[in-house]
Amino acid sequence: MPLKFYIVDVFAEKKYAGNQLAVFTEAAALSTEEMQQIAKEMNYSETTFILSSQERDGGYDVRIFTPAKELPFAGHPTLGTAFILQHAIIQQPVETIVLNLKVGQIPVAITYRDRRPDILTMKQRPPIFGDVVTAATIAPVLNLDIADIDSRFPIQEVSTGVPFLIVPLKTLATLKRIKVNVDRLAEVVESLQAKEVFVFCPETRNPANHFSARMFAPLLGIAEDPATGSANGCFAGYLAQHNYLESALVDVRVEQGYEIGRPSLLLLKAQKQADIIEVSVGGNVILVAQGEFV
């Protein structure tokens, strides 16, 4: 039978920006191998599969695949899939949609404008902070100088479900000129949980934003990602943990994807209370296309 799918742009302020996502809505009959083949055929950074149009334990079962492997969690697929669940399956305004992912249940809150979804926001799991890497180790991976890295803050693994190595830079000019040395990256991350690198700086193209960012995952088949919700959730936790903003509250706008022609905007919030950090990531989702696999 034909397999229905939708294409959306996530964290986009207009069509053909943000991060592309394919969502398959009637995927229960597909095997893991078939899902992986379809994700490779779509060749987006992620493709998701909704296993049932009925809730189970208060949420909808969803699986997420890159062209190379299945993921327990990813940010823009979570928001994009929630959008399609509301648009194509629920078909009426609801305040929250819960996705049952490999990492656990992830709630997505939805605000509306003219009865259409406006901002979707996911609450991520509390961040876990891992190993710290030296500037001398990471600089050659990015083809940067040690002086380009902001030594006031650590280069550290952070995970809210998927681990990323967070790298603080000083300037936008530095962020723009990064060229990843994949062989050196493979050597550095061999002993780490994180295989993906998220870099940021406090300079932006748009003065309404607070940070610029890039995310590289060539070892997972993604040379560079235009908008990474999971990494930005880790980043929000990082900002709170290390008091980057000299405030207990994080409420910032992050631009990503400009270097690869997919401008994106992510809305981050975090708050640290005692030893627990609450993290949420939001943005817009725009429907681009729908069709069928035959």
CB–CB of 168/175 below 8 Å? no
Annotated catalytic residue 41 = no
Closest CA to 257 of 224, 282, 234, 233: 224
Angle of CA points 142, 148, 150, to nearest 5°: 110
Quick one: angle between helices 229-241 and 75-84, nearest 10? 120
Residue 161, CA distances (Å) to 125, 157, 196, 225, 259 in order: 7, 12, 13, 17, 26
Of 13, 34, 46, 255, the active-site residue reads: 46
Cβ atoms within 10 Å of 218's Cβ, excluding its own: 16
Separation of alpha carbons 67 and 268, rounded Å: 27
What are the tokens at 281? 């990531």
How far apart are the C-alpha atoms of 207 and 263, rounded to whole Å? 15
Beta-bridge partner residues of 112? 117
Nearest Cα neighbor of 164 from 292, 268, 73, 51 is: 73
Active site residues: 46
